[in-house]
Structure 1
Amino acid sequence: MQVKIHVKKIAVDVDNFPNYSEKRYQMICQIQGFLKEGCSYREIVRRMGVGRNTIAKYRNGNPMELSMYGVRQSKLDPYYDFIVQCLKSGWSKSKTVKAVYEKGYTGSLSNAFDYLVKIEEKINEQFAPQPYVRTMTEALKYRTGSCGKDKDYITREGIFRYMWMNKELTEEHKCHILNQYPHIYELHSCIKEFRRIFEERKVPLLYLFIEKYSKSEIKALQSFASGLSRDIDAVENAVAYDYSNGFVEGTNSRLKMIKRTMYGRCDKRLLEAKLRYPKATAYG
């Protein structure tokens, strides 16, 4: 008695792909065919009923490989040969990623570095280590600035100390800064005039300040002046009186901090003990 065994025939060109999907293969070929004809994403969606993300996923690449289960195309696949060439040339990862971005890569930075790690594992070679580049700030002897024979410089911290803390600069530095950055003069004047308002306790100076800097070319100063005009009552009281709500704001901040630290940890009695002031004793 002969037993007939029915064997399902598999296409010859996909015989070496056990996870091959015929349905997906036909869909990918159809998508790439429509794209070659010049059809838009909207037209392909209307004809095939697939999503835009699916079209973008399968628009490039070998349909045979893309139709396999577990195979996912990466944005860096078109740059694989270039990355391997950079690896063989002794480039670092940072230099390679920068070159890939210049060639048109639009993905995230973390995915690019992860892709380079996978190439290292596949080829069993390592990219060159990133050389340490000493920054200009680290090379400075003085943090605020200096006038020396080798280098003459002024740092951002030095400019900040000059504008906000009234630290002195050399005349050469002042002339250079004001010539290169004219807005610094206006910023410095704004700081001094605002301090003068509170030192002399004069409300008319406040209105002159708001009127002057509401027309400034610096948007940050315009925003600051408009904010003062919106809260003019509170600002007037701050200028005219010595009273401050700092104690109240500090107490509120303290209560909120205690409340946040108590979430889900202790009961009501401990919360009350934290918030209440201790009773005065005979010794204190």
Structure 2
Amino acid sequence: MSDSMTWAQAVVLGAVQGLTEFLPISSSAHLRIVSALWFDDDAGASFTAVTQLGTEAAVLVYFAKDIARIVKAWFVGLANPAERGLDYRVGWYVIFATIPIGVIGYLLRDQIRTGARNLWLVAIMLILFSGVIWLAEKVGTQRRSMAQLTLRDGVVMGLSQCFALIPGVSRSGATSSAGLFLGLKRETAVRFSFLLAIPAVLASGLFSLPDAFSPSGEGVQASGPQILVATVVAFVLGYGSIAWLLQFVSRHSLNWFVGYRVLLGLAVIGLLSAGVISAT
């Protein structure tokens, strides 16, 4: 029989979600690792998806003016071709870029909730994808701004977002790296990455609500109030994380996160090899 989650665990997991969701270090990997160390179990993909609603609410609040402007421009542009400017195009880019992860996430939903959460895979992806981020920083020209964003950029970044279905990859790491490979400025790639995540994460969280509040019996069981508190904590810390990251990437490389990812991946491999934690 599954253990019940404590209030302390719910708050800590909400904090982990809020602090790591937007950094290129994989929040799902951190939630999986913290769960293994603290619970000797998995809090579950549904708990992860629902608490992500908190961090996505932080995105909605932080970028409220940008989102409102894009949505308005999109509807105006549909009715009046003469008004189809950058914001109208960005609206379409987000829509088209969301299709791949919607399709793949639905088709592979069972694997995402089970085999993809194996800690050996999580550790390996933390290390391997560090190389992708490093290479993107090395070869990216970083010459193109948001005004130069194209549909091709949106689709490529949308396809890269699918890799984030595997814990250890990182949604922001995958999409931002794709943007750098395409020649976008780092801040542009990260900013579009935030916008791109909104529909995918909201859909995933809402889709997972029934499973999170009526769990099947696998993994650690969280109550409705605990999930709510974890989500609120994730929102508060996530909002601060957005502001910090946008300031950070305007001055620093994403390579600052590469070393951390490698060390964390090696640490997890060491704990697994020593039998301290279980892979499943």
Determine which structure has more spread, i.e. the larger CA radius of gyration.
1
If asked which structure has higher relative contact order (CA below 8 Å, sep 6+), I would say: 2
Does the pair score TM above 0.5?
no
Instruction: Tell me the TM-score normalized by structure 1.
Output: 0.20
